[in-house]
């Protein structure tokens, strides 16, 4: 089940490295998909818009708010958003480390 329920968000960003700068008017949400499908779609969207520097597509677990609250320990930490964008999970650095060492 862990690989289900991923969405792809695409749109124009003020800063293409920061999902929070996405322009709501250009925002399109696709899915939910299985994680692999979502990644394939995000890649194709990025390729299709390769000429537009400000266009980005992100793969995100469905139903997650974009903030820095860790889903495991509920602490707020800067690394949570980075992990969300990179791995699709809202998890802080220390919980992620614990999960890597002791996989659930």
Cα 3 from chain centre: 13
- Contact range with Zn ion by CB under 5 A, out of 24-32, 36-44, 56-64, 70-78: 70-78
Residue 71 found at the interface with Zn ion (CB under 5 A): no
- Residue 55 CB, nearest distance to Zn ion (Å)? 31
- d(Cα 89, Cα 66) in Å, to the nearest integer? 11
Residue 53 tokens read as: 């520097």
Min CB(77)–Zn ion separation in Å: 7
- Residue 84: helix, strand or coil by DSSP? helix
Out of 40, 46, 73, 85, point to the residue binding Zn ion (CB under 5 A): 73
Please choose, from the candidates 82, 104, 102, the residue with its C-alpha nearest in 3D space to the C-alpha of residue 93. 82
Q: Which residues of this chain interact with Zn ion, rule CB under 5 A?
A: 70, 72-73, 92, 95
């Amino acid at each position: 089940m862990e690989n289900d329920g991923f969405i792809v968000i695409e749109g124009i960003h003020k800063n293409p490295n920061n999902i929070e700068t996405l322009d709501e008017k250009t925002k399109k949400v696709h899915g939910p998909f299985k994680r692999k499908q979502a990644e394939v779609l995000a890649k194709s969207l990025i390729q299709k818009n390769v000429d537009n520097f400000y266009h980005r597509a992100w793969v995100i677990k469905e139903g997650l708010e974009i903030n820095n609250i860790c889903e495991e320990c509920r602490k707020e930490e800067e690394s949570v958003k980075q992990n969300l964008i990179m791995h699709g999970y809202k998890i802080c650095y220390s919980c992620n480390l614990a999960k890597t060492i002791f996989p659930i």
